[in-house]
Amino acid sequence: MASDIPSESAPAQEATLPAEIADRLRRTADGLVAAIVQQHDTGEVLMLGWMDDEALRRTLTEGRVTYWSRSRAEYWRKGDTSGHLQHVRSVAMDCDGDALLVRVDQVGAACHTGTRTCFDGRDLGAVVGEGAR
């Protein structure tokens, strides 16, 4: 199974997000914000990715999710090589502006390992709290 490979290198130009969005974002020192990705109809958490302003702008305007790869220092659009597309349904910012919730229609596996989510089969065995049912 092919993994998702960056679609292109970062452009030299600065991203142009609407001011009402850009002003509310609280980015890391590297200019990134965490993007939690969720299946829109089931609520299943699929993965976590990172976005800079340009990746977020592309996601908001193109209908497909774009991420910034910290390890490769490149943009990548989910599914361009694997065919496991993420079609945007909605994007929301949390109350602090330091995380995004991207609701998608996931086609195929979300994880580069081929599992449905990046969390499948990776439970750490936490003790279940008393109030849990």
The answer to the question of whether 111 is labelled as a binding residue is yes
Is 105 within any annotated ligand binding site?
no
- Rounded to whole angstroms, the Cα distance separating 39 from 101 reads 10
Residue 118 among known ligand-binding residues:
yes
- Bridge pairing between strands 86-93 and 99-106: antiparallel
- Is 123 annotated to bind a ligand? Reply is no
Sheet holding 74-77, edge to edge: 8-9, 74-77, 66-69
The answer to whether 30 is annotated as binding is: no
Question: Is 120 assigned a ligand-binding role in the annotation?
Answer: no
Strands (E) located in the chain = 8-9, 33-39, 45-51, 66-69, 74-77, 86-93, 99-106
**Can you say which residues are annotated as belonging to the binding site?**
94-96, 98, 111, 118
**Can you say which residues are annotated as belonging to the binding site for Zn(2+)?**
95, 111, 118
**Can you say which residues are annotated as belonging to the binding site for Mg(2+)?**
94, 96, 98
